[in-house]
């Protein structure tokens, strides 16, 4: 029997307040309104940004359904939706692409004005939610919310992908892989023969290492305080790895020494801490080095950068979703994966049923996983 046009009751992992575990509860998911799409989720990855909400580092409105790295199938569409139809395999997009606002039109822009990244408003564009639990409104997360059997997103926050793509793998194209890989390819524009340093070797950092390698970097130095991350980093392309805890001097000085006093051409901060953002900037060549901030620092944190670090010619820049225009690029990244232009296997260390979500987060919090993928 068709569920189109009806409220769907299903299971979702809801967070009622920070620093509490997910509780799997029954929620009601309203039908999609005009220009909205209701999606049945098939697989969703566990990303550190979701954990930043649990820890309280990033502030959002509660209760909330997290999750933003997923694959699903369109269940039904609202009036006026033209780019997807029921039955399509799709990836929800935490950075939308409306195609009409100034960043969407500008060739260099990718942060569509419809994004809820940073504001964390948690509601649809009409100020309401499609989720409720026992009559109480439940917020969405970065226009996606994928830790639920069904979600509703705006049409600009969903991309149709190859029907043959394996959901438990290509879900990583919805966040971790694309964010890190694109930071190297699009945001830094790493050149062949260059030297790179990647601070933080989680799923996103390893993807940045893969991007540096694909761009032809000849040296890729991985930096992490957890040495257990080093074998995987070397497997995906790091030529050497260093642990800041093994040195008395600051890690930026270590990296300057490792590059005969020059500093690296490109550095990437993929942790989300202001001290490592400054260390990454200081590690790159004083005259032409570029440092790319990928990690989001805690809400309201501030960073003081000595102007002398910049005046000599260093560039400090940031990136969201690896600079990709999401709706155009995600289907292409999925076809590149299907054509074996890159692999996602090294990033996926665990898969588990959706109701084991708290175990997935514990593995991330204890540094034992790169990516856990929840299967619905």
The conformational region for residue 313 under phi > 0 = left, psi -120 to 50 = alpha, else beta, is: left
Residue 225: in which H helix or E strand, if any?
Answer: none
- Segment (H or E) for 210: helix 203-214
β-strand pairing of 136-138 with 150-154: unpaired
Contact of residue 182 among ligand COD, Zn ion, none (CB under 5-8 Å per partner type)? none
Residue choice 185, 255, 320, 357 for contact with ligand COD (CB under 6 A): 320
- Residue 293 as a binder of Zn ion (CB under 5 A): the answer is no
- CB within 8 Å of 307: residues ≥ 6 apart: none
CA distances from 206 to 121, 148, 184, 344 (A): 30, 27, 11, 10
Instruction: Report d(CA 248, CA 270) in Å as an integer.
Output: 22
For the record, the structure tokens of 305 come out as 């950068």
**204 interacts with ligand COD by CB under 6 A:** yes
92-111 residues in contact with ligand COD (CB under 6 A) are 94
| Interaction between residue 70 and Zn ion (CB under 5 A) | no
211 binds ligand COD (CB under 6 A): no
Query: How many CA atoms are closer than 13 Å to the CA of 274, on its beta-carbon side?
Result: 10
We find the least distance from the C-beta atom of residue 32 to ligand COD, in angstroms, to be: 24
Give the x/- contact pattern for ligand COD in 58-97, rule: CB under 6 A.
------------------------------------x---
Does residue number 73 form part of the binding site for Zn ion (CB under 5 A)?
Answer: no
C-beta of 313 vs 367, nearer to Zn ion: 367
Q: Is residue 49 within the footprint of ligand COD (CB under 6 A)?
A: yes
CB of 126 to Zn ion, least distance (A): 17
Report the SS3 class of residue 94.
coil
Residues acting as catalytic residues: 47, 49, 52, 68, 175
Task: Please report whether residue 270 would count as binding ligand COD according to CB under 6 A.
Answer: yes
Prior bond to 222 cis, omega within 30?
no
The residue ranges that bind ligand COD (CB under 6 A) are 47-49, 94, 175-176, 179, 199-205, 223-226, 229, 244, 270-273, 276, 294-296, 320, 367
């Amino acid at each position: 029997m068709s569920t189109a046009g009806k409220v769907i009751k299903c299971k979702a992992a809801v967070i009622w307040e920070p620093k509490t575990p997910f509780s799997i509860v029954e929620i009601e998911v309203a039908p999609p309104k005009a220009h909205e799409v209701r999606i049945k989720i098939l697989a969703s990855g566990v990303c550190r940004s979701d954990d930043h909400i649990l820890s309280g580092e990033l502030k959002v409105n509660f209760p909330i359904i997290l999750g933003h790295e997923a694959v699903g199938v369109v269940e039904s569409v609202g009036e006026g939706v033209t780019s997807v139809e029921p039955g399509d395999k799709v990836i929800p997009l935490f950075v939308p692409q409306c195609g009409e606002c100034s960043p969407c039109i500008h060739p260099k822009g990718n942060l569509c004005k419809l994004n809820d990244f940073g504001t964390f408003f948690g509601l649809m564009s009409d100020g309401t939610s499609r989720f409720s639990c026992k009559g109480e409104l439940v917020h969405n997360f970065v226009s996606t919310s994928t830790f639920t059997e069904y979600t509703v997103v705006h049409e600009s926050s969903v991309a149709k992908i190859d029907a043959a793509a394996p959901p438990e793998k290509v879900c990583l194209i919805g966040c971790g892989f694309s964010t890190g890989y694109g930071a190297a390819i699009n945001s830094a524009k790493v050149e062949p023969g260059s030297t790179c340093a990647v601070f933080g070797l989680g799923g996103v950092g390893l993807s940045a290492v893969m991007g540096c390698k694909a761009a032809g970097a000849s040296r890729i130095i991985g930096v992490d305080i957890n040495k257990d991350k080093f074998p995987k980093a070397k497997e995906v392309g790091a030529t050497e790895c260093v642990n800041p805890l093994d040195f008395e001097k600051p890690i930026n000085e270590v990296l300057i020494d490792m590059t005969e006093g020059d500093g690296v051409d490109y550095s990437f901060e993929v942790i989300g801490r202001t001290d490592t953002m400054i260390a990454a900037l200081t590690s790159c060549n004083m005259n032409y080095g570029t440092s790319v901030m990928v990690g989001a620092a805690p809400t309201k944190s501030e960073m003081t950068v000595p102007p002398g670090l910049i005046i000599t010619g260093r560039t400090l820049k940031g990136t969201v979703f690896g600079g990709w225009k999401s709706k155009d690029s995600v289907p292409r990244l999925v076809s590149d994966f299907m054509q074996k232009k890159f692999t996602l296997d090294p990033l996926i260390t665990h898969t588990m049923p959706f109701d084991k979500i708290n175990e997935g987060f514990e593995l991330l919090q204890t540094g034992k996983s790169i990516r856990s993928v929840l299967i619905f």
